């Protein structure tokens, strides 16, 4: 089982600014944590981060027939992008959306996610641990669908 973990804009700044919202751990720490969790489950995880919507769309398209599923934190594109959910639907891969913070309890403009409807589930507000839950949800779906 091979999954692609995508992090969107500004998540390369994790651990550097706004620790009260996003914590003190870095993107590298996050990727290591996910890789360790995946290794224990026999899942191969590959990581991608970009600040550019088109690059994220390209990464999703390139996942077609190479990966079994996607875990994605689209960051601010969650609330603005139609191209990202379109790409997820186009490749037909199961995807789980994840957010470090609880987007339902922040500014009103963060309450709407255009990406949700293309995903089999969403995890929000569980900090870095939410990515592990997202991996578990994806794995369970993939095991069930054979
Ligand atoms: O809670 C999340 O994971 C978000 O996807 C993070 C996005 C935000 O636009 C979404 O509404 C919710 C922002 C990521 C910015 O990451 C930073 C990390 C460190 C310092 C500053 C920003």
Q: What is the CATH number of the domain that holds 51?
A: 3.40.50.9100
- H-run or E-run covering 4: strand 2-7
Tell me which of 11, 13, 17 to substitute to probe ligand 1's pocket, judged by most ligand atoms within 8 Å of the beta carbon: 11
Query: Cα–chain-centroid distance for residue 117?
Result: 14
pLDDT in tens, 64-95: 999 999 999 999 999 999 999 999 999 999 99
* pLDDT band (50, 70, 90) for residue 146: confident
Q: What's the chain's average pLDDT?
A: 98
Q: Are 74 and 50 in contact (CB under 8 A)?
A: no
Establish whether residue 22 lines the binding site of ligand 1, counting it when its CB lies within 6 angstroms of any ligand atom: yes
Nearest residue to 74 (alpha-carbon basis) of 118, 106, 105: 118
- 35 vs 24: CA distance, rounded Å: 19
What pTM was estimated for this model as a whole?
A: 0.98
Whether the pLDDT of residue 17 is over 90: the answer is: no
Which atom of ligand 1 is closest in space to residue 17's alpha carbon?
A: 20
Domain that holds residue 100: 2-145
pLDDT on residue 8: 98
Q: Are 100 and 130 in contact (CB under 8 A)?
A: yes
Question: What is the whole-number distance in angstroms between the Cα of residue 30 and the centre of ligand 1?
Answer: 14
Question: What is the whole-number distance in angstroms between the Cα of residue 105 and the centre of ligand 1?
Answer: 14
Place of tokens 């490749």: 91
Question: What is the whole-number distance in angstroms between the Cα of residue 77 and the centre of ligand 1?
Answer: 10
Tell me which residues are annotated as active site. Answer: 22, 99
pLDDT in tens, 19-42: 999 999 999 999 999 999 999 999
Backbone angles phi, psi at 70, to 5 degrees: -135, 135
pLDDT on residue 5: 99
Q: Count of domains in the chain?
A: 1
Nearest residue to 119 (alpha-carbon basis) of 79, 76, 81, 84: 84
pLDDT in tens, 93-138: 999 999 999 999 999 999 999 999 999 999 999 999 999 999 999 9
Take residue 85 and report the two structure tokens written for it.
Answer: 């959910």
């Amino acid at each position: 089982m091979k999954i692609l973990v995508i992090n969107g804009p500004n998540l390369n700044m994790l651990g550097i600014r706004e620790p009260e919202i996003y914590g003190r751990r870095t993107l590298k720490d996050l990727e290591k944590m996910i890789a360790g969790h995946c290794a224990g489950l026999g899942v191969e995880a590959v990581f991608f981060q970009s600040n550019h919507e088109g690059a994220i769309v390209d990464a999703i398209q390139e996942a077609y027939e190479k990966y079994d599923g996607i875990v994605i934190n689209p960051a601010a594109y969650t609330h603005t992008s139609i191209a990202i959910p379109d790409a997820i639907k186009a490749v037909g891969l199961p995807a789980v959306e994840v957010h470090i913070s609880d987007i339902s309890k922040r500014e009103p403009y963060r309450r709407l996610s255009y990406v949700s409807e293309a995903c089999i589930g969403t995890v929000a507000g569980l900090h870095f641990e939410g990515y592990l839950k997202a991996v578990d949800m994806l794995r369970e779906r993939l095991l069930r669908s054979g």
